[in-house]
Structure 1
Amino acid sequence: MEKKEKNSTMKSNLYFLRLIHRASPGRIPMAMTVVFFKSVSNFLFDVYLIRYIVNGLQTGLSFRSTALFLLAVAGYHALVCLLENYYTEIFVPSSDLAISGYLHKLVFAKAKEVELACFENPAFYNKYVKATGELAKRSGQLLSTVTSIVRCVFLLLATSFLIFVIDPLLIVFAVLPTVMNLLLGKYQNNLRHEHSVKMKEIGRKRDYVNRTFYLADYAKEMRLTQLYKVMFRRLDETIKEMKAQIDKDGFRLACFGYLFMAVSDIVVYLGTILYAAFRTLVSGTMLFGDCVVVINTINSTMQAMQAMSGILVRFQGHALYINDLRHFLEHESTIPDVETAADAPRKASLSLNHVSFCYDGQTKNALSDINLTLRHGEKVALVGHNGAGKTTLIKLILRLYDPTEGEVTLSDIPIKDLRLGSYRERFGAVFQDYRVFSLSVTDNVLLKGNITDEERVIALNGMEKSGILPKVETLPFGADTVLTKEFDSNGAVLSGGECQKIAIARVFAKDCEFIIMDEPTSALDPIAEYEMYEAMKEVCRDKTVIFISHRLSSATLADRVYLMEEGRIAEEGTHAELLEKNGKYADMWRKQAEKYAEEATIR
């Protein structure tokens, strides 16, 4: 079992070193070169030079020989300093950027692939947060650990040989703390890892409080309500929880540290001094230079051996993190994008056949036995109260989730058999919780990589159809103006309705066959809503459109209306048919009409 753990530790660290090498091929060889020459320099200065001079004084070595040796050591050290400064100040910062960029792209690319359910799973999400949170520093820490072990190996070989030449018995003094550290280190490291994981879980609560104070999304509530008091209370509770965890684990960690320090400081170091002093002052069998070197090098050797065992413990710590990273990067999505699968057909009808769905960890279905077909070019409205299952249904249509039962087909082809990227390209969607990004207006509309002049024109057309273009034309740099002021003091801050028009422009600018509008007019005033629907009639003439809205005015544009209730389709038909049926839909329509009439009277 222990051998398997060692193999796992070694494999995990080698896996991460391979990633570092791919990102910056010269980093590891350069680091090894620098640490080797630096270690030789340190040995000459800290160990051998003292012995050479003191023994030379005692044995009558000539000044000329001493001076030549010192000049040679100084010249070598000057060259090493030049190499080390180039490596530290020029090579490493550039290499760190390359490594950080490569690793973050690797993680972000995987984050884009994994199914949405993973982000709703706390255990998986914790691994993702840990993977992204430590990427930048962990690569540097692992490289530091690797160079430390090379430095320690060289120091051990050099000093052990020198000590062995002086007195072989002295090696015993250096081995004792190493054995202690190996015995205690494994348990200490596991305890530290468990403590770190628990602290991170608690720390997420503190991070949430932090976000509420610096994100613009919460700024209004923070100032208009007593939300800050609630958050202060939450922060106090979190700090108490973290302190309790520190108190619980800190005592055990302190005990491990005390045992090790007692052995190394008292038994080994003082014992070595007494032994060397006896041989020099009493028996006269050791030169003064050798005595000085023994006292210095036994401490260095002991520290190197302790460091070696500590480094092994650090490798175990790295492995625990790397295992989390590998678990994330090697996660096989339950909704994979198979490149060899067929492309989604065009001008297709979409069908849900006896579809049911239940979220992980829930016992009650969010959707039950849904049957509906969307024909090409048809306009469909999904209506119902909050929690009726409308948004969940859209997630299944977009294949953000797969049904628990039943299947979704496109022109009678199960969407599982279609290339995921090709299938999703057929859709344009405006979600209720849409976002605008700190990018230019054009980038916010197109949401793609390199943009051609032709695509800029398409983006402007989309803005015109959504009604946001007149506003965009008043901005300092037009469509090139950055939204939000987070990174640009000249950035534009749009109103909620204007941001929603940006989100709608994305759909109008995309060459898609299915358009999904989840509460598309929630932030628009009635006039803007009317203009948007009029534009949609023209733009979406040959497209399949799904409206989700609490405002039933969108249902008048639909060819068919589905009223959802508790995850089921309660009523379906045209707007007129459902009014004539005088059921739940008709009741909702009348209540909304009365509400709007009252608001109009008040105005």
Structure 2
Amino acid sequence: MIILETLLFFGSIYALKMLIDAVSITISKEQTEVEEIMYTLVWAALLTICYHVIKAFSVYATEIQSAKVSEHLYAKIHEKAAALDYSFYESPEYFDVLQRAKESGYDRPHAVVVTLFDTLKQVLGLFAIASVIFSIDALLLPLLVACMLPTLFIRIYYSDKLNLLRLRHTALERQSGYFGSLLTSENSAKEVRLFGLGDHFMSRLVDIRKAIVGERLAISYRRTIKEVMATVLATFGFFACIAYVVWGSIKGLVTIGDIAVFLVIFPQVFNMMQGVTNGITVVYHNNIFVKSIFDLFDVKGTEKRTVETEVTIESEAPISLELDNVSFIYPHAAKPTLSGINLSFPEGKVVAIVGLNGAGKSTLIKLICKLYEPTQGNISLGNVSINSFPDRQYRRYISAVFQDFCRYNVSVLENISLGDISKPTHELNKVKSAAQRAGAHEFIESLSDGYDTIMGRIFENGNEVSIGQWQKIAIARALYSSSKFLVLDEATSALDAKSEQKFFQELKENLNGRGALVISHRHSTVRHADYIYVLSNGKIIESGTYEQLQYAGGEFASLFKKEFVQEF
């Protein structure tokens, strides 16, 4: 389309020159050649009409192409982010890379494609005009190009300067976004108002923005001064070209048609050269941003053996999840978070883990869910190392309710069915069954649209519920899964005492034979467990049944001493 547009543009310019020359010859001969003039005029008109039609469709084709490129890269960014190991989400360096990629994710690729095609169009147009200018005088074209080069070099130089500044400011940009989210997010709205934090966070935000914008504008000011100087120089050069052509006409070296065409195309030459310069600068500048997308694509996950073939567990008896002498140390950490963990998590039983904050319970859950791999030791499922399972297959065996569970702003039905998204269909009666076992069915039925109610207030017609009701939906989501093992990380912390007591009294029945690993600080929760492990400073220091630990007089008895006294 661009090549065709350029040919038609050249044709219309050439037809205009032929028309002017025909009129000039007719005037000089003092006779009217109407037929020849009209023939040339019709051709000039047709070529010009075709040029404008093709130009319009060329713009449309460019928009299609740029939209496809932008949408493709936008999807790839999110696909890459979702596929990376969980460990990256605890790395500030990764968030810097992700931030730069997201900044470039839609507008920048679009700008590169549009500008690239537009620059190509300008270059081809210049070649068309160059042939006309070259026919007038061979020295004009090099002189015109030389006039524009300083502006191009200045813009490229300052594009590099601005990019280096952008890389240096990535962390500040993320801080700015964080404080902006605190001022605008629903999650922080209550505390911001209660503690009067609005002015404090606003001050932090403004200080960061001033630092970022101040340095950027300082560079832009220096660039502007040099661009003005280069533009003045270019303008003098262009008018020197005009003077050169006028002098040639005085000497009789060029025709009237040449002069007329030059005066017509001269503004276009200036605009096209400015367009080419701007285009190269914009493509160069945005390509620096687009490189950030490929920096994200180049991020490599943790080196580990990829398993493709699914494992068959040959056992009709209930299976167990076993941790054998497992230790774990976070990257760059000074000491292990977990050391020598031996733990059995059998199917059909409720196992509890108790311990003070910082004991390593959350890290243990991450290992069991295969979000991290042990530094030492082994985790096995049905006597098969979990490293032998493809990640997707292993995670079908595990379902979890995390303490910081997600609140999805979709319908209740979809919220719960996300627990087993691989099912081809999600039957309402099975979703309701999971909700009933989680104690959520009653309040869901009271919502405006029942199980079709949109949750949260982010979208239109959404309904907000209490944090305890949200937690019941999260539990229902886990129970809807067909997993063999359920991990409950303080999963009832937001429930009222009555709901929590009812849930744990019916826990084994609700699990339908699955194993449950319960992480809790509450005596009322762990007393329902078949077996209890006590975790302290990354090590298991006690284990046994509730009755055994109750009378052992160890750490467990110390944690729940008051509750034991009340029992008697």
TM-score, normalised via structure 1 length: 0.84
* Structure-to-structure mapping, 1:10-29, within 5 angstroms: none
Establish whether residue 472 from structure 1 lines up as the match of residue 444 from structure 2: yes
2: distance between equivalents of 1:458 and 1:440?
16
2: distance between equivalents of 1:96 and 1:472?
45
**Of 223, 233, 247, the match for 2:203:** 233
**Higher mean displacement: 305-314 or 399-408:** 305-314
Q: Give the superposition deviation at 1:120.
A: 2.2
SS for the counterpart of 1:202 is helix
1: distance between equivalents of 2:452 and 2:388?
40
* Structure-to-structure mapping, 1:67-146, within 5 angstroms: 67-82=38-53, 85=56, 100-146=70-116
**Higher mean displacement: 343-352 or 134-143:** 343-352
Distance change >3 Å, CA 357–CA 509, structure 1 → 2: same
Q: Give the superposition deviation at 1:582.
A: 1.6
Q: Give the superposition deviation at 1:92.
A: 6.9
Q: Give the superposition deviation at 1:69.
A: 3.4
* AA of the residue aligned to 2:239: L
Establish whether residue 511 from structure 1 lines up as the match of residue 482 from structure 2: yes
* AA of the residue aligned to 1:457: N
Q: Give the superposition deviation at 1:542.
A: 2.1
**Of 377, 402, 409, the match for 1:406:** 377
**Of 187, 205, 208, the match for 2:157:** 187
Q: Deviations over 1:7-27 (max 9, x none)?
A: xxxxxxxxxxxxxxxxxxxxx
CA contact (8 A) 2:348 2:516 kept: yes
2: distance between equivalents of 1:492 and 1:402?
39
Distance change >3 Å, CA 416–CA 262, structure 1 → 2: farther
CA contact (8 A) 1:466 1:535 kept: no
Q: Give the superposition deviation at 1:422.
A: 0.2
Establish whether residue 333 from structure 1 lines up as the match of residue 301 from structure 2: yes
Partner of 2:25: 59
2: distance between equivalents of 1:464 and 1:560?
26
Partner of 2:30: none
Establish whether residue 289 from structure 1 lines up as the match of residue 257 from structure 2: yes
Distance change >3 Å, CA 355–CA 244, structure 1 → 2: farther
Q: Give the superposition deviation at 1:196.
A: 3.0
2: distance between equivalents of 1:164 and 1:475?
78
Partner of 1:497: 468
Partner of 2:243: 274
* AA of the residue aligned to 2:252: G
The answer for unaligned runs of 5 or more in structure 2 is: 28-32
Q: Deviations over 1:42-96 (max 9, x none)?
A: 4456x4465445444433274544444344343444455455556657x777776
CA contact (8 A) 2:501 2:525 kept: no
* Structure-to-structure mapping, 1:136-535, within 5 angstroms: 136-177=106-147, 179-180=149-150, 183-254=153-224, 256-258=226-228, 260-266=230-236, 268-281=237-250, 283-295=251-263, 297=265, 300-301=268-269, 304-305=272-273, 307-308=275-276, 310-334=278-302, 338=306, 340-343=308-311, 345=313, 347-447=318-418, 455-489=427-461, 491-535=462-506
* AA of the residue aligned to 2:490: E
User: Equivalent pairs: percent with the same residue?
Assistant: 25
CA contact (8 A) 2:63 2:114 kept: no
Q: Give the superposition deviation at 1:430.
A: 0.4
2: distance between equivalents of 1:488 and 1:315?
39
TM-score, normalised via structure 2 length: 0.88
1: distance between equivalents of 2:51 and 2:431?
57
SS for the counterpart of 1:352 is strand
Partner of 1:574: 545
Q: Give the superposition deviation at 1:227.
A: 1.7
* AA of the residue aligned to 1:58: S
Partner of 1:18: none
* AA of the residue aligned to 2:6: S
Distance change >3 Å, CA 69–CA 563, structure 1 → 2: farther
* AA of the residue aligned to 1:285: L
1: distance between equivalents of 2:242 and 2:54?
37
Partner of 1:39: 6
CA contact (8 A) 1:382 1:547 kept: yes
CA contact (8 A) 1:335 1:401 kept: no
Q: Give the superposition deviation at 1:460.
A: 0.9
Distance change >3 Å, CA 337–CA 226, structure 1 → 2: farther
CA contact (8 A) 2:505 2:528 kept: no
1: distance between equivalents of 2:109 and 2:394?
37
**Higher mean displacement: 57-66 or 493-502:** 57-66
CA contact (8 A) 2:354 2:533 kept: yes
CA contact (8 A) 1:343 1:423 kept: no
**Higher mean displacement: 295-304 or 581-590:** 295-304
CA contact (8 A) 2:104 2:290 kept: no
Q: Give the superposition deviation at 1:184.
A: 4.3
Q: How many residues align?
A: 558
Distance change >3 Å, CA 166–CA 78, structure 1 → 2: closer
1: distance between equivalents of 2:437 and 2:333?
42
1: distance between equivalents of 2:323 and 2:422?
36
* AA of the residue aligned to 2:26: G
CA contact (8 A) 2:434 2:477 kept: yes
* AA of the residue aligned to 1:463: A
SS for the counterpart of 1:275 is helix
* AA of the residue aligned to 1:131: A
Q: Deviations over 1:283-303 (max 9, x none)?
A: 232234323433554554465
SS for the counterpart of 2:460 is coil
SS for the counterpart of 2:518 is strand
Q: Deviations over 1:298-335 (max 9, x none)?
A: 55446545644554444444443343323323433227
2: distance between equivalents of 1:308 and 1:92?
17
Q: Deviations over 1:443-498 (max 9, x none)?
A: 00011658766632211100111111111112222111111232222x22111111
Partner of 1:26: none
2: distance between equivalents of 1:93 and 1:444?
37
2: distance between equivalents of 1:566 and 1:559?
23
Distance change >3 Å, CA 97–CA 511, structure 1 → 2: farther
Q: Give the superposition deviation at 1:523.
A: 0.7
Distance change >3 Å, CA 332–CA 453, structure 1 → 2: closer
2: distance between equivalents of 1:341 and 1:450?
18
Partner of 1:559: 530
SS for the counterpart of 2:300 is coil
* Structure-to-structure mapping, 1:540-551, within 5 angstroms: 540=511, 542-551=513-522
The answer for unaligned runs of 5 or more in structure 1 is: 1-32, 598-603
SS for the counterpart of 1:558 is coil
CA contact (8 A) 2:326 2:374 kept: yes
Distance change >3 Å, CA 571–CA 237, structure 1 → 2: farther
**Higher mean displacement: 103-112 or 236-245:** 103-112
Q: CA RMSD in A?
A: 3.0
Q: Give the superposition deviation at 1:99.
A: 5.1
